[in-house]
Amino acid sequence: MPISIPVRLRRLRQTEAVRAMLNETALTPANLVAPLFVHDSPKAEPVGSMPGVERVSLDGLVEKARRLHELGVKGVALFAKIPDDKKSSGGEEALNPHTLALRAIRRIKADVPGLVIFADIALDPYTTHGHDGVLTGDRADVDNDATLEVLAKMAVLSAAAGADFVAPSDMMDGRVAVIREALDEAGHTRTGILAYSAKFASAAYGPFRDAVGSSRKPGEKSLSKATYQLNPGNRREALREALADEAEGADMLMVKPAGDYLDIIRDLREATDAPIAAYQVSGEYARLQAAARLGWLDLRAARDESLLAIRRAGADFILTYFAEAWASDYHAR
Ligand code: PBG
C-alpha cells in the first residue's frame, strides 16, 4: 500500500534527464587553472609525492600549455624550481631579469597567447631558508616591510614579461597596495592582482615544497610559516584578510587550501562580489592519488567530487593539479 507523502524529493532524481536538468553546480574546463612546474633542465622529472606531475623544461612547458589551451583550460600558474646554487638568504635571484620564472612567462605569452598567465609573487623558491620573504636582522622572523619592496619589483618584472595577473602568495601585510602602486607607476595598469588572501599555514603544502625544493632540508616538511600564514582555526581572521586585500586593490581573492576550507570559500562568496579562486593544493592532490593507488578510492569519482564541492562552495575558478586530466575526461564524456 503506497503511503501518501506530499514531498517526495526522489521524484526529482528519477531519471538521468531530470537529474541533469536540475543540476545546480556546473564545472567546465574554463573554471580550471593548471599550476605548472618548470626547471632549468632539458629532461622532465617526476615529482615523487605528486604522481602524474612533473617539473618540465621551457619547451616542455610550452607543450603542456598548448595542450591545456586546446582542452579549454584558460589559465596557468607558473612555479619555477631554482637550483640550490642560485638561492640566497635574500632571494636575489627573484629579481634577475633572466630568471627562469620570467623566461617561462615570456615563452608562454609568445607561443600560447590565448592563455591567462598567473605569476607567483613570493620568495620561497629563491631563499635558502624556504621562507616567502627576507628575514629580520636576528633571522627570527620574516621582515614584512623589507619583503614588500622585493615583491613589488618582482611583480613589475612579471608584468613586463607578460603576466596577465600577478599572484602574491606570501601573506605579507600591505602587499596588494604596494604591488598595485608599483604596477601602476610602471605603466602596467592592465596587469591584475590575484591575492592569495586566505592562505592558511597548512600541512597540505608538503608535496609542493618537494616540487620547488623549498622545504629547507631535504625531506623536512615542517617549515613553519605561522607568523604570516593564517591559523587553520581562524574563520573571522580569514575574512578580514580577504576584505583588506580587496580594499587594497586586489582584482580577485583566493582561498587556499580549498577542500578543507569550503566554509571559508562560502564566507568570502557571501561577503564580497569579487571573483573568488580556490587552490586545491598539492597535499589534497597527493592524498587522493595515494588512496587511489592503494585501491581505497576511485580516483576519477573522488577527483570529480572534490572539484564539484569547491565550485559549490562558491569558487569561480579552481587551481588544481587535476586540470589537464579532468579537462581531457570532460571532452571524452
Ligand atoms: C609559497 C607557495 C606554496 C604553495 C604555493 N605557493 C607553499 C608554501 O606556502 O610553503 C603551495 C601550493 C601547493 O601546495 O600546491 N609561496
The answer to whether 221 is a known catalytic residue is no
Nearest residue by C-alpha to atom 2 in ligand 1: 169
Q: Is 9 inside any structural domain?
A: no
Is the pLDDT at 93 greater than 70? The verdict is: yes
Q: Is 11 inside any structural domain?
A: no
Give 266's pLDDT tier (boundaries 50, 70, 90): very high
Give 242's pLDDT tier (boundaries 50, 70, 90): very high
pLDDT at res. 274: 98
Ligand 1 lining (C-beta closer than 6 Å): 120, 122, 124, 132, 169, 205, 208-209, 225, 281-282
> What domain range is 139 assigned to?
28-332
pLDDT at res. 219: 52
Give 218's pLDDT tier (boundaries 50, 70, 90): low
Q: Is 15 inside any structural domain?
A: no
Cα 312 from Cα 308, distance rounded (Å): 6
Sign of the CA dihedral running 224, 225, 226, 232: negative
Mean per-residue pLDDT of the chain: 96
Omega into 257 within 30° of 0, i.e. cis?
Answer: yes
Q: Is 254 inside any structural domain?
A: yes
The answer to whether 199 is a known catalytic residue is yes
Residue whose C-alpha cell is 573568488: 276
Nearest residue by C-alpha to atom 3 in ligand 1: 205
Give 60's pLDDT tier (boundaries 50, 70, 90): very high
92-112: average pLDDT: 98
Nearest residue by C-alpha to atom 9 in ligand 1: 205
pLDDT at res. 215: 75
Distance from the Cα of residue 269 to its chain's centroid: 18
Q: What percent of the chain has pLDDT over 70?
A: 98
Nearest residue by C-alpha to atom 8 in ligand 1: 205
Of these residues, 64, 74, 199, 225, which one is catalytic? Answer: 199
pLDDT tens-digit readout, 294-325: 999 999 999 999 999 999 999 999 999 999 99
pLDDT tens-digit readout, 243-254: 999 999 999 999
Q: Which of 255, 196, 201 is nearest to 224 (CA)?
A: 201
pLDDT at res. 333: 87
pLDDT tens-digit readout, 32-58: 999 999 999 999 999 999 999 999 999
Count of domains in the chain?
1
Of these residues, 64, 74, 225, 256, which one is catalytic? Answer: 256
Q: Is 7 inside any structural domain?
A: no
* Closest ligand 1 atom number to CA of residue 321: 15
Helix/strand/coil (H, E, C) string of the chain? CCCCCCCCHHHHHCCHHHHHHCCCCCCCHHHEEEEEEEECCCCCEECCCCCCCEEECHHHHHHHHHHHHHCCCCEEEEEEECCHHHCECCCHHHHCCCCHHHHHHHHHHHHCCCCEEEEEECCCCCECCCCCCCECCCCCCECHHHHHHHHHHHHHHHHHHCCCEEEECCCCCCHHHHHHHHHHHCCCCCCEEEEEEEEECCHHHHHHHHHHCCCCCCCCCCCCCCCCCECCCCHHHHHHHHHHHHHCCCCEEEEECCHHHHHHHHHHHHHCCCCEEEEECHHHHHHHHHHHHCCCCCHHHHHHHHHHHHHHHCCCEEEECCHHHHHHHHHHC
Q: Is 1 inside any structural domain?
A: no
Is the pLDDT at 222 greater than 90? The verdict is: no
pLDDT at res. 234: 98
pLDDT tens-digit readout, 158-208: 999 999 999 999 999 999 999 999 999 999 999 999 999 999 999 999 999
pLDDT at res. 228: 97
* Closest ligand 1 atom number to CA of residue 130: 10
Which CATH number does the domain housing residue 272 bear? 3.20.20.70
Of 37, 121, 208, 223, the one to substitute when testing ligand 1's pocket (max ligand atoms within 8 A of C-beta) is 208
pLDDT at res. 217: 57
Query: In angstroms, what is the span from residue 37 Cα to ligand 1's centroid?
Result: 12
pLDDT at res. 214: 83
Q: Is 196 inside any structural domain?
A: yes
